Amino acid sequence: MSIDAETRAPTGLDRFFRLSERGTSVRTEVLAGVSMFLAAAYVVVVVPGMLAGAGVPRAAATTGVIVTVVLATLFMGLYANLPFVLAPGLGGVALVAVTLIQHDQVPYPVAMGMVFWSGVAFLALTLLGVRQLVTRVIPDAVRLSIGAAIGLYIAMLGFRSAGLIEFGPKGMKLGELGSAAGLLAIAGLVLVTALSARKVPGALLITMVVLTVAAVPLGVAELPDSWFELPAGLGPIAFEVDVWGALQPHYLPFLFALFAAEFFSTTGVVLAVGERIGLADDKGELPDVNKPFLVDSVSVIGGSAIGGPSVTTYLESAAGSDSGGRTGLTSVVTGGLFAVLLLLTPLATMIPQAVTAPVLIFIGLGMLKGLQKVDMSDPTDAIPAALTVACTLFWGNFGTGIAAGLTAYVLVKAVSGRFRDVHAGMWAMLPFLLYFFYNSVH
């Protein structure tokens, strides 16, 4: 593909990012970087809001998340030369902020220690070149249901944060739909769905901007005293990582849940977007595929130290590739734009939960599509997949849901006499039964 002379990259940039080789230009990469930024900018509001619900200082959490996104995305662009944006994954953040800290009263440093070890496991698999081993061991039925379980849980968090559902002595019940916050959330869900259906770029960001403007006169949000200021310090959250406390045996399912969310999300997005931009081979693999996995795993470890838990490659990277992004220059532009947001943290911290709720609901419900690929006609696949989703939601716990799904898969396959369907490594999952025993007596 030829490149117009007026948009031809300078020799240095062209050589470093291999622009001509991939049939792109500086102008195209810059526009793609802007598109990817607009698609993913919502994370600097949504993720700190989730962490703030767990008692993490919101200003510090906002700074930590932005710094994590900037460093990880620049690392991806400069080292792997791929157009991907990285940020704390909503599934991992929900596990840390809601399940571990709020529900199970796990101290913040211990929770971040689990994030640290999940990143170490990811890094070890990458360096040893055995990424495919995990893909082979975990059955597709459970792997696909993990994403759906995380999605439904995220959607429930959105409903709860907007007051659309309430929890009482008799369980879950309908919330105050007629409240200002409830009406904003419902209107936002309709708006973001309509914008996404029309394929409007930055649909999530546009929805949050519109709802925030509406939230001020409704009394749901207040304007900040200052729009621009230096970012808050990371003091309250920096290096608060208890690496040894996180290794207690009953935390094993949580460690696996974090690892699974990061590993499968990264694998799916990297291969899908890589194929979309024409870099994948006949087998669907990328050349130097370990580079983006190395970036992800190192970013997970680094993110745990500065308050950006469970970093993963975002599906919103597709916005950059769809706009023509083919190289790491797209990521560099996106990372630079996120860095500018460090001066706009007052704006991010003023946005209320009623504004972020429809984003959580929309993203969460969209993750249910993974269940379409599960063979529901085969009960030995359908039941473990359904249990993974149901136990996550009913018991409010990712670790329990995944443990239930994996254990059920081994047991029903064995009782059905279909031992060949169970990878030898799956028999190691049976100790998860001890996890259920532990939780039943504590």
pTM above 0.95, yes or no: no
Quote the domain boundaries for residue 428. Answer: 5-440
Tell me the helix, strand and coil percentages in the chain, rounded to 5: 70, 5, 30
- Nearest by Cα to 48 from 243, 226, 202, 231: 231
The residue-averaged pLDDT of 50-62 equals: 90
In sign, the C-alpha dihedral spanning 332, 292, 64, 195 is: positive
Q: Label each residue of 217-269 as H, E or C.
A: CCCCCCCCCCCCCCCCCCCCCCCCCCCCHHHCHHHHHHHHHHHHHHHHHHHHH
* DSSP tally for the chain: helices H, then strands E: 19, 4
First to last CA, the chain: 64
Average pLDDT in the 179-184 region? 89
Question: What is the DSSP annotation of 136-203?
Answer: HHS-HHHHHHHHHHHHHHHHHHHHHHTTSEEEETTEEEE--TTSHHHHHHHHHHHHHHHHHHTT-TTH
Give, as one character, the DSSP assignment of residue 54.
T
Amino acid at 224: P
Least confident segment among 112-116, 282-286, 352-356: 282-286
Give per-residue pLDDT as tens, 11-44.
688 889 988 888 888 989 998 898 888 888 888 8
pLDDT band at 343, cuts 50/70/90?
confident
- Distance (Å, rounded) from C-alpha 209 to C-alpha 347? 11
Report pLDDT digits (tens) over 372-408: 888 889 999 999 999 988 887 887 666 677 778 888 8
Condensed to tens digits (0 to 9), the pLDDT of residues 428-442 reads: 656 655 555 555 444
167 bridge partner residues? 172
Residue type, 395: W
Helices within 53-107 (DSSP H only): 58-75, 90-94
- pLDDT over 80 (residue 167): no
CA gyration radius for the chain? Answer: 22
Band of pLDDT at residue 234, cut at 50, 70 and 90? confident
| Total domains, the chain | 1
